[in-house]
Amino acid sequence: MGALAPFTALLISTALLVSGYSLQNALIPLRGEAEAFGAFWVGGLGSGFFLGYALGCWFAPSLVARAGHIRVFAAFVGLMSGTILLHPLAIDPAFWVLLRMITGFAMAALYIILESWLNERTDNANRGTVMSFYVMINFAMIASGQMLLTVYPLDSFALFTIASVLISFAALPLALSRATQPAPLYEVRLNLRKIYQTSPVGLVSIIGVGLTTGSFWAFGGVFATRSGMDSDGAALFLSVTILGAALFQWPIGRLSDKIDRRFVLVALNSAAVLVCVMVSLLGPNQPALILLAGFVFGSVIFPTYALAVAHTFDHAEADQHVTLASGLLLAFALGSATGPLVASVAVDQLGGIGLFTYAAFVQALMVVFMGVRIAQRTAIADEDKEDFTLYATAPVGAVLVDSELGDQDIDLFEPEPMVFEPETADDDDSEQAKNDGPAA
């Protein structure tokens, strides 16, 4: 634990931020369902968040270059904290979609700032320990934040207040820390053609898991309530799902080091199809089976992101890893923004089980595509594979570390900082002379 001591403030800020963010992510779709927004608008809430997240990944580095890490962090904590409180003041679905876009943009910026600080202050000797612990904090706080739904009734203003307070408090450890600001961030241009040429399976899998998990975050709680659970049961269902993801991400990743990762992806997606079909056949009021299905769903769906990133790394040069990971994250965000809107059609027609009917269809397409690719491209040799690492393949932020960048990478650039030049006395005199006109 000694290696983590210098990062205490950063990790506390992360824990507070993610717990507040996950509470509102679970709360808002359920509240939208309770307010009878309808499936389309509930899906729009999920799509709005991930669209804002994608935009944040693109534009946040420029904002940080212009104002600095601490100022931007404080500004977006304030923006995110205030935005969550606006939801119960104006219960309108279109307005809530706009608020979710703002929240997604802010969350992307905050993740990028936190991770750039962590990356800056770690070296190769302890980077794996620190960043893996950071990823596990994210998993733990997502599950804990969702369980805060059980503290107050769903229609209470207090849940919005708790989310706002947690996010606001996240600014304190970092703002009061004596840590120096990190080096400038880099922006990544989304080059889908380049990613596809590097690894078709990697890119398509990332988009596929975005289509599925984005829809799950939009409609998972809705599915639980329509299956006979109350809001407390829905919170437990969401937390159990993320628990499955947290427990199985590492062992599945290590297994993929030993065999062709594509076979592991096919197995996971095939298992997901079976789980989704079984859930679609479940009747209401079977909470134990629903929780078990959520656990298995999380354990087979969420790790596919990390495997797809690792598989892409296997086919890339070492100095491309950071830019490819950032590009894949943007592709994931775009898939996550599209998925809830498409899934809303299935939910509207079939009810809550429409979420899993839709997910089964998406995962089946993934299995077919990967089967075709396995037939067309031979597996990479074991000695050429990269070792699976939890922190490098987690879908949390999009940070580029200067020491890991390639010299000739045309898909990244450093934003130009804004320079504030104070006026000189001569400039003031000239301006005054202009205003006074010619001397008498």
Asked whether the predicted pLDDT for residue 409 surpasses 80, the reply is: no
Asked whether the predicted pLDDT for residue 414 surpasses 60, the reply is: no
Asked whether the predicted pLDDT for residue 410 surpasses 80, the reply is: no
Confidence at 174, pLDDT banded by 50, 70, 90: confident
As a whole number, the mean pLDDT across the chain is 83
Q: Residue 220: count other Cβ atoms within 10 Å of its Cβ.
A: 26
Confidence at 194, pLDDT banded by 50, 70, 90: confident
Q: 73 near 181, Cβ under 8 Å?
A: no
Largest CA distance in the chain: 94
Position 124 scores a pLDDT of: 60
Asked whether the predicted pLDDT for residue 400 surpasses 50, the reply is: no
Asked whether the predicted pLDDT for residue 231 surpasses 60, the reply is: yes
Domain 10-172+183-411 has CATH 1.20.1250.20: yes
Query: Residues 171-192: what's their mean pLDDT?
Result: 70
Going from N- to C-terminal start, the domains of the chain cover: 10-172+183-411
Q: What is the pTM of this model?
A: 0.83
Confidence at 398, pLDDT banded by 50, 70, 90: very low
Query: Residues 82-103: what's their mean pLDDT?
Result: 96
Query: Residues 396-407: what's their mean pLDDT?
Result: 48
Position 378 scores a pLDDT of: 79
In tens, the pLDDT along 273-318 reads 999 999 988 877 888 999 999 999 999 999 898 888 888 888 877 6
The segment with the largest mean pLDDT, out of 67-76, 128-137, 423-432, is: 67-76
Phi and psi at residue 92, to the nearest 5°: -140, 130
Query: Residues 136-149: what's their mean pLDDT?
Result: 91
Position 253 scores a pLDDT of: 85
